[in-house]
């Protein structure tokens, strides 16, 4: 473990921040491989405590690689999983037993008898005995050498929801509402997520000799900061790691975002005052002092740890004006550039005009959620806009939608004048209804059903695009293969995905690209497609169109951009926000966050207002992506 720097003084558990989850997972997998080899050399089994969910997926992929390419054997490894949903049997597609087989056990040489996972189907009256036996099995294996952990947004480790005590042991618990919301996409709706689970207790976890907690993406940033910098409390189970002698956090930059050393670096030491960092400090100061940027005083800066910034770039009056102007210059009603205007201080260049603009939407609803108003403006201002849905979005569509379609088709066929002419349609509809019945509520959708669901969403996208003035031939659906083969939180993109995105770019040769998805959760569809777009652009970097193509990042359902991150703010009139809301209403299955997009746009405008900028009804905001 590297020694801790002064910047880390707020963190009460040693924490390593990695550029991305892949690097962190590789480091941890190497450590586990070393542990297995050392223990095996001493003639002992290595005892691993394992977790499920999206977080450990890259870690398991790396363990599998070490097994296949570097002959790491798991013959003498014993595993204990943290938890299992209560009520699901081991073959259920969402059970953790099935997850572990799919993600790890089926790909390595671990003997089945060495695998331990709490049972999700033990009868109610035997739960207590089952849990006690689980504890005893851990002890008789010699205790857990290293426990791998993720963290839920409630701060849970295992399924130890808020309120779990320091000494709790393996037991049945009730899942928190937030945890069930987070699992909703896996189960196609929160109402299908089990209410209970069996989990190792906090006490069980703390008995492990070593603890390694991983967290990726901004969605985890707030709870990671609480667990690391807040008090030890039952309200955040992960905070108990502060009491363990050999615990650590391995996180990526997104998950580190709320740590004091990253968020308020001037409180922990000298800062190199880049333009972005300066803007962040001034904006923070404005919120903190509850005064507009232009009204901040030397005293405001001095009293809040920013005297250093002031001596470098002050006095306050000048610093304020400079940042005010920068913020002012982010605002434009011309996201595609204003033709024939001086564009020195405008976010987008004036020429060429009109522009070829590609708006990438990871799933069919994302672009409208994130930038419906801006699409509306781009179209109105005469640009050649294409909305590209990278995936079919079929996983979002409820069974009931497919059922509705098949039942209507069946009825149409049976009431037609010549039912015989409809025999193909009748067969198709019956087939769909049969598939729905066979697979039940949780079963995986076979390709035929996924195709239908994808088509249903395609229709909704066309409708929504139409509401923004985009004709059907300007809507492209790529149906990337990784999505069709995969499931939420476990997708894996491949070469054919990259080839499809690259081809699209080469065909269209855009002047402007809009995309989303780099930050909130690296396992999300948006993050995966974003990485594909980045790689595809890199592969085209020597093509003429590519060097001058601007790349704007919008936020879909995630946290909106903070003012210091905004490079382009597109104001929306009350009429435009209405039109965006109308376009959104064309989608049958929107999450509450997605439905709230117009409200979040209004909030952006209020934020700009608080800083002392002009008061708009709503704002959509963008970050300029610097290609790596
Ligand atoms: C899973 C587990 C949970 C998860 C946590 C994060 O075995 O114990 O604590 O680690 O809910 O889930 P993901 O990784 O899906 O964000």
- Which pLDDT tens digit goes with each residue over 570-590? 999 999 999 999 999 999 888
- At residue 442, does pLDDT exceed 90? no
Q: What percent of the chain has pLDDT over 90?
A: 86
Ligand 1 midpoint to CA 151 (Å): 6
Residue closest by Cα to atom 13 of ligand 1? 53
Ligand 1 atom with the shortest distance to the CA of 156? 9
Residue closest by Cα to atom 12 of ligand 1? 53
Ligand 1, pocket-test mutation among 50, 152, 198, most atoms within 8 A of CB: 152
Write down the pLDDT at residue 189: 78
Q: How confident is the model at residue 187 (pLDDT cuts 50, 70, 90)?
A: confident
Q: How confident is the model at residue 44 (pLDDT cuts 50, 70, 90)?
A: very high
Instruction: Please work out, in degrees rounded to the nearest 5, the angle formed at the alpha carbon of residue 489 by the alpha carbons of 159 and 517.
Output: 120
DSSP for residue 236: B
Ligand 1, pocket-test mutation among 21, 48, 49, 52, most atoms within 8 A of CB: 52
- At residue 37, does pLDDT exceed 60? yes
Ligand 1 atom with the shortest distance to the CA of 219? 16
Measure CA of the first residue to CA of the last residue in the chain; give whole Å.
29
Give residue ranges with CB within 6 A of ligand 1. 51-55, 82-83, 150-152, 156-159, 489
**Rounded-to-integer distance, Cα 276 and Cα 278, Å:** 5
Matching CATH topology for 17-261 and 356-399+427-624?
Answer: yes
Q: How many CB atoms lie within 10 A of CB 193?
A: 20
Write down the pLDDT at residue 318: 96
**Rounded-to-integer distance, Cα 550 and Cα 545, Å:** 10
Query: What does the pLDDT average to over 590-604?
Result: 90
Tens digit of each residue's pLDDT (9 = 90 or more) over 525-544: 999 999 999 999 999 999 99
Whether the Cβ atoms of residue 116 and residue 78 lie closer than 8 Å to each other: yes
- At residue 1, does pLDDT exceed 90? no
- At residue 441, does pLDDT exceed 90? no
Query: What does the pLDDT average to over 149-164?
Result: 96
Query: What does the pLDDT average to over 228-248?
Result: 97
Domains of the chain, residue spans: 17-261, 268-322, 356-399+427-624
Tokens coding 353:
């005009």
Write down the pLDDT at residue 190: 81
- At residue 558, does pLDDT exceed 80? no
Active site residue 161: yes
* Residue matched to tokens 């209804």: 433
**Which is it for strands 550-554 and 618-624: parallel, antiparallel or unpaired?**
antiparallel
- At residue 503, does pLDDT exceed 60? yes
Residue closest by Cα to atom 5 of ligand 1? 152
Write down the pLDDT at residue 486: 86
b/e 46-78 (16+ beta carbons within 10 angstroms → b): bbbbbbbbbbbbbbbbbbbebbeeeebebebbb
Ligand 1 midpoint to CA 352 (Å): 48
- At residue 488, does pLDDT exceed 90? no
Write down the pLDDT at residue 518: 63
Mean pLDDT of the chain: 94
Ligand 1, pocket-test mutation among 21, 48, 50, 51, most atoms within 8 A of CB: 51
Write down the pLDDT at residue 620: 97
* Residue matched to tokens 């059907």: 472
488 vs 606, more confident: 606
31 vs 92, more confident: 31
Ligand 1 midpoint to CA 400 (Å): 29
Write down the pLDDT at residue 6: 63
Whether the Cβ atoms of residue 623 and residue 567 lie closer than 8 Å to each other: yes
Which entry of 161, 218, 229, 348 is annotated as an active-site residue? 161
Write down the pLDDT at residue 484: 92
* Residue matched to tokens 């939407």: 361
Write down the pLDDT at residue 181: 87
Tens digit of each residue's pLDDT (9 = 90 or more) over 263-294: 999 988 889 999 999 999 999 999 999 999 99
Write down the pLDDT at residue 439: 87
Tens digit of each residue's pLDDT (9 = 90 or more) over 292-306: 999 999 999 999 999
SS3 assignment for 183-198: CCCCCCCHHHCCCEEE
**Rounded-to-integer distance, Cα 545 and Cα 535, Å:** 16
**Rounded-to-integer distance, Cα 455 and Cα 97, Å:** 33
Tens digit of each residue's pLDDT (9 = 90 or more) over 311-323: 999 899 999 999 9
Beta-bridge partner residues of 513: 358, 551
- Which one, of 322, 300, 218, 296, lies nearest residue 263 by Cα? 218
Write down the pLDDT at residue 481: 95
Q: Concatenated DSSP letters for 49-78?
A: EE--SSTTHHHHHHHHHHHHHH----TTEE
Overall pTM > 0.85: yes
- At residue 490, does pLDDT exceed 90? no
Architecture of domain 17-261 in CATH? Answer: 3-Layer(aba) Sandwich (3.40)
**Rounded-to-integer distance, Cα 117 and Cα 79, Å:** 8
Ligand 1 midpoint to CA 79 (Å): 17
Q: How confident is the model at residue 559 (pLDDT cuts 50, 70, 90)?
A: confident
The domain 356-399+427-624 is placed in CATH, from the list 3.40.50.10320, 3.30.300.130, 3.40.50.880, 3.30.430.20, at 3.40.50.10320
Ligand 1 midpoint to CA 82 (Å): 9
- At residue 443, does pLDDT exceed 80? no
Write down the pLDDT at residue 4: 64
- At residue 3, does pLDDT exceed 80? no
Ligand 1 atom with the shortest distance to the CA of 81? 7
Query: What does the pLDDT average to over 449-477?
Result: 94
Burial class of residue 42, CB neighbours in 10 A (0-12, 13-18, 19+) = exposed
**Rounded-to-integer distance, Cα 254 and Cα 252, Å:** 6
- Half-sphere exposure at residue 536, Cβ-oriented, CA atoms within 13 angstroms: 27
b/e 569-595 (16+ beta carbons within 10 angstroms → b): bbbbeeebbebbbebbebbebbeeebe
Q: How confident is the model at residue 380 (pLDDT cuts 50, 70, 90)?
A: very high
Instruction: Say what angle helices 423-439 and 447-467 make with each other, to 10 degrees.
Output: 110
Tens digit of each residue's pLDDT (9 = 90 or more) over 87-111: 999 988 899 999 999 999 999 999 9
Tokens coding 5:
């720097």
- At residue 592, does pLDDT exceed 60? yes
Ligand 1 midpoint to CA 215 (Å): 9
Q: How confident is the model at residue 608 (pLDDT cuts 50, 70, 90)?
A: very high
């Amino acid at each position: 473990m590297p020694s801790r720097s002064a910047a880390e003084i707020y963190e009460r558990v040693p924490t390593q921040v990695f550029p991305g989850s892949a690097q962190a997972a590789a480091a941890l997998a190497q450590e586990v491989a070393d542990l297995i080899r050392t223990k095996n050399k001493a003639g002992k089994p290595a005892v691993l405590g394992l977790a499920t969910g999206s977080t450990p997926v890259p870690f398991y992929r790396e363990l599998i690689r070490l097994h296949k390419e570097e002959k790491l054997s798991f013959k003498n490894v014993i595993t204990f999983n943290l938890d299992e949903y209560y009520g699901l049997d081991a073959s259920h597609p969402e059970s953790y037993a099935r997850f572990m087989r799919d993600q790890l056990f089926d790909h390595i040489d671990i003997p089945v008898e060495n695998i331990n996972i709490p049972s999700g189907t033990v009868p109610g009256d035997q739960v207590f005995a089952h849990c006690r036996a689980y504890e005893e099995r851990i002890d008789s294996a010699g205790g857990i050498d290293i426990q791998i952990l993720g963290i839920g947004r409630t701060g849970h480790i295992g399924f130890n929801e808020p309120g779990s005590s320091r000494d709790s042991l393996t037991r049945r618990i009730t899942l928190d509402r937030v945890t069930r919301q987070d699992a909703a996409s896996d189960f196609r709706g929160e109402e299908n997520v089990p209410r209970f689970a069996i989990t190792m207790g906090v006490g069980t976890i703390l008995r492990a000799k070593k603890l390694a907690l991983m967290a990726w993406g901004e969605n985890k940033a707030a709870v990671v900061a609480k667990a690391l910098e807040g008090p030890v409390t039952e309200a955040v189970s992960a905070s108990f790691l502060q009491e363990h002698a050999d615990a650590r956090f391995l996180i990526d930059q997104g998950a580190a975002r709320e740590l004091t050393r990253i968020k308020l670096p001037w409180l922990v030491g000298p800062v190199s005052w880049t333009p972005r960092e300066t803007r962040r400090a001034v904006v923070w100061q404005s919120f903190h002092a509850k005064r507009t940027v232009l009204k901040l005083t030397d005293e405001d800066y001095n009293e809040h740890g920013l005297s250093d910034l002031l001596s470098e770039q002050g006095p306050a009056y000048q610093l304020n004006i400079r940042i005010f102007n920068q913020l002012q210059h982010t605002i434009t009603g011309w996201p595609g550039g204003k033709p024939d205007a001086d564009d020195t201080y405008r976010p987008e260049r004036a020429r060429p005009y009109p522009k070829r603009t590609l708006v990438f939407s990871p799933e069919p609803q994302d672009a409208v959620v994130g930038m419906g108003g801006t699409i509306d403006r781009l179209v109105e201002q005469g640009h050649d806009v294409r909305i590209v849905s990278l995936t079919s979005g079929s996983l979002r569509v409820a069974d009931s939608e497919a059922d509705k379609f098949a039942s209507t088709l069946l009825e149409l066929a049976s009431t037609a004048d010549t039912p015989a002419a409809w025999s193909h349609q009748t067969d198709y509809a019956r087939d769909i209804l049969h598939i729905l019945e066979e697979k039940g509520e949780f079963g995986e959708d076979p390709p035929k059903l996924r195709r239908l669901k994808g088509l249903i969403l395609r229709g909704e996208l066309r409708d929504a695009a139409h509401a923004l003035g985009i004709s059907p031939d300007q809507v492209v659906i790529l149906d990337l293969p990784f999505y069709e083969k995969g499931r939420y939180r476990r997708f894996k993109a491949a070469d054919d995905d990259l080839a499809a995105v690259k081809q699209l770019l080469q065909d269209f040769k855009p002047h402007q690209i809009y995309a989303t998805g780099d930050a909130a959760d690296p396992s999300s569809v948006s993050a995966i497609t974003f990485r594909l777009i980045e790689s595809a652009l890199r592969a085209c970097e020597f093509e003429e169109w590519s060097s001058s193509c601007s790349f704007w990042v919008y936020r879909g359902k995630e946290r909106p951009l903070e003012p210091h991150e905004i490079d382009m703010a597109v104001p929306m009139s009350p009429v435009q926000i209405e039109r965006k809301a109308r376009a959104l209403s064309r989608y049958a299955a929107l999450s509450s966050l997605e439905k709230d997009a117009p409200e979040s746009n209004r909030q952006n405008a209020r934020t700009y207002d608080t800083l002392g900028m002009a008061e708009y009804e709503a704002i959509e905001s963008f970050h300029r992506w610097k290609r790596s």
